[in-house]
Amino acid sequence: MLVLSRKKGESIVIQNNIVLTVLSVEGDNVKIGISAPKDIDIYRKEIFDAIQDNNQSAVMDLKTIQTAILNMDGNRIE
């Protein structure tokens, strides 16, 4: 991992077009401004990880889905 020290108001440029700016530092809390091209998605890592995990645990194969939904239908219709 590349480690850089920055002061408040200073920036880092990645690949010519992504600019990270340290906006404020208060105790443990750092506010970072990010300007990047529109097609770059920016997420908090823990949330992105949670979505990846959730998708991976929700995946099923078609046959299992059909059985699952059929069972549900059966329960619903009585």
Residues within the interface to other proteins (CB under 8 A)? 38-39, 41, 43, 47-48, 50-62, 65, 68-69, 72-73, 75-76
Q: What is the CA radius of gyration of the chain?
A: 22
Nearer to other proteins, 32 or 69 (CB): 69
The answer to whether the beta carbons of residues 15 and 22 sit under 8 Å apart is no
CB of 50 to other proteins, least distance (A): 5
Nearer to other proteins, 13 or 59 (CB): 59
